[in-house]
Amino acid sequence: MARPKATPEQRAEVRRSIQRAAMELYREQGASSISARAVAKRAGVSVGTIYSYFGDLAGLGQSLWEGRVARQEEVFREVADQHQDPLTRIEALLRAYLTFGMEQHELYRSVLMFVRPAALGEPEKQAVSAFAFPTLLKAAIEAGQAAGQVRAGDVDELTQLLWSGVHGAIALPINLSRIELKSIDQMSDVTLAALMDMLHP
């Protein structure tokens, strides 16, 4: 006799149990500890169940942060909506990103400073337009160029340059903690000022 099909509630609970197991392993031993076998053992499921629910380990890893990332992306959209002037909008977005890095350490490090272990494989590439922050930043740069407020240049390159600037200000003192560097709290204002100066025509 065939096993009865799992209800949506039962499937959701299995999914949550796998995610809980992966998160516990991550917090206890780091990203390198997240293997299909270890997660399956912790969650009390088969290895095949993990692949059935998440496709691969990369999909499982991404799923751990989806809800919190979606909420942060909504914050970026709200910030952008508050400012009609392109330069003011760019500055507000950059400041919101720096605040995100300073105030949400675990999420920022896990999503944007994650060094993928070889065992997790390569993730499928996604378009930059799938993410709120660079999309909103690009739109503000384009508006600024159209208004003559932002220097001419490839808008994708300018977007990546600004994003690199704020990301680097957050990541550098963390990744190179053995070097006496100023913290992001100390560098946020000067980083923001330098990036905005760079945009002037």
The predicted model scores a pTM of 0.73
The first and second tokens of residue 183, run together, are 């913290």
pLDDT tens-digit readout, 82-117: 999 999 999 999 999 999 988 887 777 777 766 666
Chain region(s) in the chain for CATH 1.10.357.10: 66-199
Q: Which CATH homologous superfamily contains domain 66-199?
A: Tetracycline Repressor, domain 2 (1.10.357.10)
Q: Which CATH homologous superfamily contains domain 8-63?
A: Homeodomain-like (1.10.10.60)
Chain region(s) in the chain for CATH 1.10.10.60: 8-63
> What per-residue confidence (pLDDT) applies to 2?
53
